[in-house]
Structure 1
Amino acid sequence: MPREAVEADLARLAPRQPPFEADAVLDRALASPGLRGAAPETAARLALVAYARHVFTDYDDLLGEGYDRDSARHFVLDDLNATLTAWGAAPIPEADAEADPEEDPA
């Protein structure tokens, strides 16, 4: 998947994301084995959501406390959506909070 294509889609999906955050999301999209065959837009969106979830929410802490993935995702959804919308990205609807094929099992 071409870096330039993912970068362009990421800029379109999250136009207000700070450049240093965009670089980290782009690196995540390109390094993820689960996204290698994905369309650039799909890779950009899934990497964006996973990055924001891990960096800007208590998701990892909740997993560490024993919450299962679905419960942890439910509890961080508002914080995740606040970050996404601040970056100009579409929020995740409650019904889609558990769907994220890029995410590792942890």
Structure 2
Amino acid sequence: MNRRERVAAALLRLAPRLPDFEAGAVLDRALASPGLRAAAPETAAWLGLVAYARHVFTEYDALLDDGYDRDSARHFVRDDLNAALGAWGVRRQISEQEADDPGDCGADDAF
């Protein structure tokens, strides 16, 4: 099994209701992110999924454009981010600590 297949399998386990077109976008971004190239498949899938949902399904980028710093913007979109993840069958929730310090390995840089 190659890296793409391993990350895709991890993504499917993590977000079983993620639509195929969204899964493809998350997978492409996770594999393209320089910070995730050496990450374990599960880590790459999780961080890619969170970064994708944050940028596509929340007002994160608009808050950054309005001058909010990254930590504040992440704080304000946490509930929307968790709602998007939950809709895809993700059981894990982003906590306040993770919203402020996600250890994202540059996953957001792929967006």
- In which range does the TM-score fall when normalised by the shorter chain? over 0.9
Which whole-Å CA distance do the structure 2 matches of 1:2 and 1:58 have between them?
A: 31
User: Where do residues 1-106 of structure 1 align in structure 2 (5 Å cutoff)?
Assistant: 2-89=3-90, 90-98=92-100, 99=102, 100-101=104-105, 102-104=107-109
Partner SS, residue 71 of structure 2: helix
For this pair of structures, how many residues does the alignment match? 105
Partner SS, residue 15 of structure 1: coil
Tell me the CA shift for residue 93 of structure 1.
1.2
Which whole-Å CA distance do the structure 1 matches of 2:69 and 2:3 have between them?
A: 34
Which whole-Å CA distance do the structure 2 matches of 1:44 and 1:36 have between them?
A: 11
TM-score (norm 1): 0.94
TM-score (norm 2): 0.90
Q: Mark the runs of 5 or more structure 1 residues left unpaired by the alignment.
A: none
Tell me the CA shift for residue 46 of structure 1.
0.2
Among all aligned residue pairs of Structure 1 and Structure 2, give the percentage whose two residues are the same amino acid.
70
Partner SS, residue 103 of structure 1: helix
Q: Mark the runs of 5 or more structure 2 residues left unpaired by the alignment.
A: none
Tell me the CA shift for residue 103 of structure 1.
2.5
Q: Following TM superposition, where does structure 1 have runs of at least 4 consecutive aligned residues deviating by more than 6 angstroms? A: none
Tell me the CA shift for residue 91 of structure 1.
1.4
One-letter code aligned to 2:50: V
Which whole-Å CA distance do the structure 2 matches of 1:33 and 1:7 have between them?
A: 17
Which whole-Å CA distance do the structure 1 matches of 2:42 and 2:97 have between them?
A: 21
Q: RMSD of the TM alignment (CA)?
A: 1.3
